[in-house]
Amino acid sequence: MFDGMGVTLGDLHRLSSARTRSVSPENPTGGKGLGGMADVGPGTASFAARELGRGWKVQPYVNAAPGETLVLCDLDGPGCLQHVWMTLTGNLRHQVLRIYWDGQERPSVECPPGDFFACGWGEFAPVSSLAVCVNPGSAFNSYWPMPFRKHCRMTLENRGDQPMKAYFQIDYAEGPVSDDAAYFHAQFRRSNPLPYKSVHTLLDGVRGQGQYVGTYLAWGVNNAGWWGEGEIKFFLDGDGEFPTICGTGTEDYFCGSYDFVNQKAKQYQEFSTPYCGLPQVIRPDGVYRSQTRFGLYRWHIADPVRFSSDLKVTIQALGWRPDGRYLPLQDDIASTAFWYQTLPTAPFPALPDRDACEIV
């Protein structure tokens, strides 16, 4: 059975009755023996495959017109998504990835794809972690296990003005799901700019039992100086004004220290590890690119934050004043929160429109 935790290296030798399947443009349904059946024709790699024909690389991608929503997979359960790979053309903040579980009308995942794959600034940065890998030249990979009992539907919306191509492969297994398996969720929010003396809310309104498993932040700094003194807070199961879990600083939560600075070079030091990382630092050029931008992730795989009834997560944005006092910052903070929970999924806040998501 799938317990929601995936298969460990120590389990690979064990036999299972699960059936491996894969959805891609070459097999849109994932059906057994139905891959590579596309004919050369409009919307395919018709020129490249014209001399080879059916059974060769005829349908490696799908097209989405402006305003169109692609259905990437539409699967009956029970089963578990085990790996999602995709590479996309166009502006990633003008696209929205959504996943719906067991026939719910509301999505349990709603996020621009770059942010979902821990690469939120629209520029490549390598990520080498257990849950997400971003590989050259622009390959997004998710290894979050996503069990479902009745149905799984994944869509990709093109909110841009230009057509886009989507290359993707969704690897999954058909088989029983254990009674204690929860459903994967991800939610995007953005504060741009964060109001003075306010906190950025990563997540609120969650109802049900589950565990918080990850945070990705695309953080754009609007002030000079160090920006990461703010604390992250987890309000669990009826907490009021004060949280149960309170961190000691932004770089501390992302498992770094002392401003993420290489003490020898006196520069920010990128890093990517299994559970945490600062894989992206976009540095100013001194002319038009005037703000430093950061991409950070923290996966709570070994240390999930468990809740029984409700959850709220916030983070402060704090720098320093010249006289040694904290400076509340008004930065551009885009967050993606990842968690598992029981259904039903509570309504998400309205996703910011295309312009409000855009990186300028």
Position 78 scores a pLDDT of: 97
Percent of the chain with pLDDT over 90: 89
* Cα separation, 304 vs 300, whole angstroms: 5
Position 292 scores a pLDDT of: 96
Residue among 95, 91, 58, 340 nearest 213 (CA): 340
Token digits for 141? 């990979």
Find the farthest-apart pair of alpha carbons in the chain and give their distance in angstroms, rounded. Answer: 72
Residue 212 scores a pLDDT above 50: yes
Instruction: Give per-residue burial for 249-282: e unless 16+ CB within 10 Å, then b.
Output: bbbebbebeebbeeeeeeeeebebeebbbbbbbb
Position 137 scores a pLDDT of: 95
For the segment 91-110, the average pLDDT, to the nearest whole number, is 98
Position 2 scores a pLDDT of: 47
* Cα separation, 12 vs 161, whole angstroms: 45
Residue 306 scores a pLDDT above 80: yes
For the segment 119-126, the average pLDDT, to the nearest whole number, is 97
Position 6 scores a pLDDT of: 59
For the segment 64-74, the average pLDDT, to the nearest whole number, is 98
For the segment 231-241, the average pLDDT, to the nearest whole number, is 98
pLDDT digits (tens, 9 = 90+) for 162-172: 999 999 999 99
Most confident of 1-10, 170-179, 283-292: 170-179
Give the model's confidence band at 70: pLDDT under 50 very low, under 70 low, under 90 confident, else very high: very high
For the segment 135-140, the average pLDDT, to the nearest whole number, is 97
> Domain boundaries in the chain?
61-357
Average pLDDT value over all residues in the chain: 95
Q: Which CATH architecture has domain 61-357?
A: Sandwich (2.60)
Position 10 scores a pLDDT of: 85
What sign does the CA torsion over 20, 23, 27, 31 have?
positive
Position 1 scores a pLDDT of: 44
pLDDT digits (tens, 9 = 90+) for 1-60: 444 445 778 888 999 999 999 999 999 999 999 999 998 887 778 888 888 889 999 999
For the segment 53-76, the average pLDDT, to the nearest whole number, is 95
Let me know how many helices (H) and strands (E) the chain has, helices first.
3, 27
Instruction: Give per-residue burial for 300-335: e unless 16+ CB within 10 Å, then b.
Output: bbeebbebeebbbbbbbbbbeeeeeeebbbbbbbbb
